[in-house]
A and B are shown apart, each in its own frame.
Chain A
Amino acid sequence: MKLNDAVFGVLLMLLGAAVLAVVQGFPKIPGQQVGPALFPGLIAAGLVVGGWLLAVRGWRDRALAPWVQMGPWVRMPRHVLAWLAMVGGVVFYMLAAPALGFLICAALVLLVCMWALGVRPVAAVALAVVAALVIHLMFYKLLRVPLPWGVLQPFAW
Chain B
Amino acid sequence: MEHALAQAFAMVFDPYTLAVMVVASLYGLFVGAVPGLSATMAVALLVPVTFFMPPIPAIAAMVTATAMAIFSGDIPGCLLRIPGTPASAAYTDEAFALTRKGQAEVALGAGLVFSAVGGLFGTLVLIVASPALAEFALNFSSFEYFWLVLLGLTCAVFITSDRPLKGLVMLLLGLLVACVGLNNPAGFPRFTFGSTEMTGGIGMMPMMIGMFAISQVIRHAVDTSPAAELVVEKVGGVLAGQWALAKRYPVQILRGSALGTVVGALPGAGADIAAWMSYAMSKKFSKEPEKFGTGHVEGIVESGSANNSALAGAWIPALVFGIPGDSITAIVIGVLYMKNLNPGPTLFTTNPQNIYAVFMLFVIANIIMIPLGILCIKVSKRILLVPRDVLMPMILIFCIVGTFAINNSVFDIGVMLVAGVVAWLLEDNDFPIAPAILGVVLGGMLEENFITSMIKADGNLMAFITRPIAAGLAVLTLLIWGVPLLRALLRSRSRGAVVG
Residues of A within 8 A of B (CB): 1-3, 5, 8, 12, 15, 19, 22-23, 26-27, 29, 32-36, 38-40, 43-44, 46-47, 50-51, 53-54, 57, 71-73, 76, 79, 82-83, 85-87, 89-91, 93-94, 97-98, 102, 106, 109-110, 113-114, 116-119, 123, 127-128, 131-132, 135, 139, 143-147
Contacts and interface: CB of A to CB of B under 8 A. Distances in A.
Contact of B454 (A34, A116, A131): A34
B405 interface: yes
Nearest to B425: A1
Given A36-B184, A113-B392, A86 B218 contact: yes
A47 B176 contact: yes
Contact of B221 (A19, A39, A83, A131): A83
A40 B450 CA distance: 12
B179 A114 contact: no
A38 B451 contact: yes
A110 B428 CA distance: 26
A131 B394 contact: yes
Tell which of A32, A83, A94 has the most Cβ of chain B within 10 Å. A94
B186 A90 contact: no
B459 interface: yes
Given A72-B224, A83-B222, A147-B404, A118 B397 contact: no
Nearest to B401: A139
Given A83-B222, A85-B221, A118-B389, A39 B184 contact: yes
Given A47-B169, A82-B221, A135-B397, A98 B52 contact: no
Nearest to B455: A32
Nearest to A107: B397
Interface of B: 48-49, 51-52, 165-166, 168-169, 172-173, 175-176, 179, 184-186, 188, 190-191, 214, 217-218, 221-224, 387, 389-390, 392-394, 396-398, 400-402, 404-405, 408, 410, 413-414, 416-417, 421, 425, 428-429, 431, 446-447, 450-451, 454-455, 459
Contact of A87 (B218, B390, B459): B218
A117 B222 contact: no
A32 B217 CA distance: 48
A79 B390 contact: no
Contact of A73 (B165, B224, B414): B224
B187 to A, nearest CB: 8
Contact of A143 (B49, B191, B414, B431): B49
Given A36-B186, A110-B393, A54 B224 contact: no
B396 A40 contact: no
B413 A93 contact: yes
Nearest to B187: A36
A20 B165 CA distance: 21
Contact of A43 (B175, B218, B221): B175
B52 A143 contact: yes
13 contacts: A1-B425, A23-B190, A35-B186, A36-B188, A50-B168, A53-B165, A54-B165, A90-B214, A106-B400, A116-B221, A119-B390, A145-B404, A145-B405
B49 A43 contact: no
Given A71-B428, A94-B410, A131-B394, A145 B389 contact: no
Contacts of B402: 139
B410 A97 contact: yes
Given A114-B393, A119-B390, 18 more contacts: A23-B190, A26-B188, A34-B451, A43-B172, A46-B168, A71-B222, A86-B218, A87-B417, A90-B413, A93-B413, A109-B397, A113-B393, A117-B221, A127-B390, A139-B48, A143-B49, A145-B404, A145-B408
A120 B326 CA distance: 40
